[in-house]
Structure 1
Amino acid sequence: MLQFITIGAAIVDIVVSRVHPMRGAKQDVEHIGLYAGGGAVNAALNVASRGARVTVHACVGQDLEGGLIRDLLQRHGIRAAIPPHHLPTGKAVVMIDDTGAARAYAQRGASAWVGEHGFAGLDQADVVYVTGLSLKSQAWLQNALSAISRRPFRLVVTPGARQLSDPQALHGLWDQADLLCVNAHEAAKLLADDTIRTDAPSPQIAQALARRLVRHPGQAILLTLGAAGAVFFDGEASHFHAARPVEAVSTIGAGDAFASAFVHAWAEGAAAQDALATATESAAAIIQHVPANMGGLLRA
C-alpha cells in the first residue's frame, strides 16, 4: 500500500451555480452548496479512494469549518496532521456559469500557515504531493526537505497561484521535484513565454513546452491541456493522451482530480498511457458534478 503525504490547502468551498451576469440586486441560482476543498484535501480523498494510505499536512482554524474538514478526513480514513490556528479556516466562494467555467473569491485564512510547526513523517512516505502553498509555507517545506539527507520518496509539485506569481521563489521546489504538474498557461508563465496564448496548444507544442520545464536529468513533467488532453514527459520520451469528451457541469477541481489520479497510478508503476488514461477518467467523472471535488457535501 502506497504511503502518501499531501501538503497544501484545506478550505471550505461555497459553490454557487448557475450564475448569470447580474441584472439587479438579487439573482436566483440553480444551486448553493458547502463543500470541502483545497488541493491537499482533494488529492488526499482521491488517492485514498484508490487504496493509498494518506496523511494530510494542512492548517485550519479552531472553528466549525475546521472541525467539519477534520471529520470528513477521518470518515475517509485519512490522517490529519492539521494543527489548529488562531486564524479562521480558509474559504472560497466559487461562481460557476452555464458553461461550467468557475471563478473563485478566496480568503486564505489559516491555509496560508501550513508547515509552521514542521512536516513530521516525510521520511516515511512513498510520495510527497505538494499543492498550492503560500511563500512562507513553501520556505518551511524547503527547509524540511533540506534536512533529509537521503530522500526515500518521490516529490510531486503542483504549484498554486501564489507560487506561480513568483517563479523565482518556486525554483527551490521546482528544482527538486521528481514530477512537476502544471497546465499550459502555468507552464508558459514559468518559462516567461508570451508566445503560448492558449490553454490547449497542439500536442507537438505541448511536448516541446514540457521538455523546456525540465530542471534536472530524469525529472518528469505532467502538462495538462484542458479539453485537449495532456502530455507526460517521463524524463526521456513524451506521451500524449486525448481528453474524454463530456459535458462539463463544473471545472473546479478538475486539475486536482487529474493530477492526483495520475500520480497514484505512476507511483504504482503503471505505464505512461495507462496512468494518463486513469487520470483522464478521474477528471471526466469529477467535472460532471456541481462541486467538482472529491469531498462531497460537508453537511453530509
Structure 2
Amino acid sequence: MQGQGNRQYGILSAGELLIDFISSEFASNLDEAVDFKRILGGSPANLAMNMARLGVSTKLVATIGNDDMGKYAARYVHRLGIDLHGLRAVDTPTTLILVTRSKEVSNFEAYRGADCEIVPEQMPLGQLKNIALFHTTCFALSREPARSTILQAAKLAASHGCTPSIDANFAAKIWPDQAAAQAAVKAYCGLGALVKMSEVDWERLFNHQMSDPGAAAEQLLEMGAAEVCLTMGSEGCYVATKGERHFLAARPVEVRDTTGAGDAFWSGYLTAWLDGKGLMEKAMAGRKMAELKLQHFGPLPDQVERMELYKG
C-alpha cells in the first residue's frame, strides 16, 4: 500500500536529534575551520522537520541530554508541530557534531552522547500501528540500545502494514564494525523498505566504487528493498523497483552548503510517496526539495509549499 491511508501520522522518524556546529566559511577540513554556527541537526530529525514543513503529520523518536542544548533542540522541533511523545531526556549530554561547510562532501567529527539511548518505551505498539512510514538511519543503528530498539520497532511496524524507510548513511568513524552495519542494512531492506543511499555511503559500506548504479540498486532490491534511490551528488539520482528504473539528472543551482541536502531530498521523495506519486515523480520531488536546501545555509523556512514539489 502506498500513501497515508487512514493512519494518523504520515511518518515516525527514529534516531538522532543533535546539534551541528557548521563552519561559517567553506573549509576542506576541521583544522581550517575557525568559526562555527549552531544548527539543529541529526538526519532523522532533519527529515522529520522538513516533512513537517511540507505539512506531513510527523512523529520524532529521539533521546537528548537533560542540558541546555537538549532543551534548545526540543523547543526548536516542538514549534514545527512535530509530535514529541517519543522524545526522552537523559543525564548523558546531548550529542554534538562539528561539520565543515562544503559544496561537495562535508567533513565531520561526532561527539556522541545521548542520541543512542533510545529504548522500547519510546515506541509503544499503539504508536506503531498508527503510522504510514517508519524511518531511521545507519547513524541511529550504529550503537546500542538504539539499534535493537529501532530494528524491533521497524519489524513490528511493518507487521502492521507500515512501510519502513532508511537512509543508509554509513561512515566508518560512526560505525567502525562494517560487517555489523552491512548486516543491519540487509535486515532492514528485508522488511520491504524504501532505501536511500548516496554514492559516497555506498562506497564506504561496500568497499568498492559504485560504477553501475543499476547493479548497486539491484543488490539492495535482492536484499528485499521495495524501492531504492541512489543519489550521486551533482550528477543526479537513480531510482529503482523490481519493475521500473529511472535516472534523473541534477540541475545546476548555487550551492551555499551541502549539509542536510540528502535529508531534504528524502523528505521530498517520501512526501511524494505519501501523496501516491509515481517513481519518477518521487525522484523529481526529492530533487526539488534538495535544490531548496542546497541554496540555504542552515534550516529551511518553517513552511514549504507542498505543491511546489510537483512543479518541476
Fold match (TM-score > 0.5): yes
3-state SS of paired residue (1:135): coil
Task: Tell me the TM-score normalised to structure 1 length.
Answer: 0.84
Query: How much has 1:171 moved relative to structure 2?
Result: 2.5
- 1:148–1:178 CA distance, 2 compared to 1 (3 A): closer
Q: Secondary structure at the match of 2:107?
A: strand
SS in 2 for 1:214: helix
- Aligned equivalents of 2:220, 2:259: Cα separation in 1: 25
- Is residue 253 of structure 1 aligned with residue 260 of structure 2? yes
Structure 1 residue 40 displacement after superposition? 1.5
Q: Residue 58 of structure 1 aligns to a residue in which SS? A: strand
How many pairs align?
282
Q: Take 1:244 and 1:61, find their aligned partners in 2: how far apart are those partners?
A: 40
Match of 2:54 among 44, 47, 50: 50
Change (3 A) 1:64 1:239: same
Q: Distance in 2 between matches of 1:147 and 1:228?
A: 37
Aligned to 2:100: 95
Q: Could you report, residue by residue, the CA deviation over 1:1-26 in whole angstroms, capped at 9, with x for unpaired residues?
A: 6521001110011111315579xx9x
Of 97, 108, 112, which residue of structure 1 is paired with 2:112? 108
Name the SS for the 1:258 alignment partner: helix
Secondary structure in 1 matching 2:247: strand
- 2:98 and 2:110 in contact (8 A); partners too: yes
Aligned pairs for 1:145-160 within 5 A: 145-147=154-156, 150-160=159-169
Q: Give 1:142 deviation, angstroms.
A: 2.2
**Which sits farther off after the overlay, 36-45 or 172-181?**
172-181
| Contact 1:217/1:235, CA 8 A, preserved across alignment | no
Q: 1:177 to 1:69 in 2, by over 3 A?
A: farther
- 8 Å CA contact 1:58–1:115 kept in 2: the answer is no
TM-score, normalised relative to structure 2: 0.81
Structure 1: 5+ residue runs without aligned partners? Answer: none
Corresponding residue of 2:309: none
- Kept in 1: contact 2:88–2:122 (CA 8 A): no
1:170-220 per-position Cα deviation (integer Å, ceiling 9, x unaligned): 332232142111112333454x352x26xxx5xxx2122211211356721
Gaps of 5+ in 2: 303-312
Structure 1 residues 17 and 240: CA distance shift in structure 2, 3 A: same
Q: 1:214 to 1:193 in 2, by over 3 A?
A: farther
Query: Are residues 1:167 and 2:175 paired?
Result: no
The alpha-carbon deviation at position 72 of structure 1 amounts to: 1.1
SS at match of 2:129: helix
- CA deviation after TM superposition for structure 1 residue 290, in Å: 2.1
Please give the root-mean-square deviation of Cα atoms over the aligned residues, in Å: 2.6
2: distance between equivalents of 1:182 and 1:148?
Answer: 22
CA shift in 2, pair 1:3/1:178, >3 Å: same
Task: Judge which range, 59-68 or 107-116, deviates more.
Answer: 107-116
- Contact in 2 for aligned 1:58/1:114 (Cα 8 Å): yes
1:272 pairs, out of 276, 279, 296, with 279
Call closer, same or farther: CA 1:155–1:20 in 2, change over 3 Å.
closer
Q: Distance in 1 between matches of 2:33 and 2:264?
A: 30
| Residue matched to 2:150 | 141
Deviation at 1:49, TM superposition (A): 1.4
Structure 1 CA distance for aligned equivalents of residues 28 and 243 of structure 2: 47
Q: What CA distance in whole angstroms lies between the structure 2 residues aligned with 1:180 and 1:101?
A: 20
Map of 1:242 onto structure 2:
249
- Matching residue's letter, 2:50: N
Rounded Cα–Cα distance in structure 2 between residues aligned with 1:109 and 1:41: 16
- Paired with 1:170 and 1:274, the residues of 2 have a C-alpha distance of 26
Asked if 1:128 is matched to 2:137, the reply is no
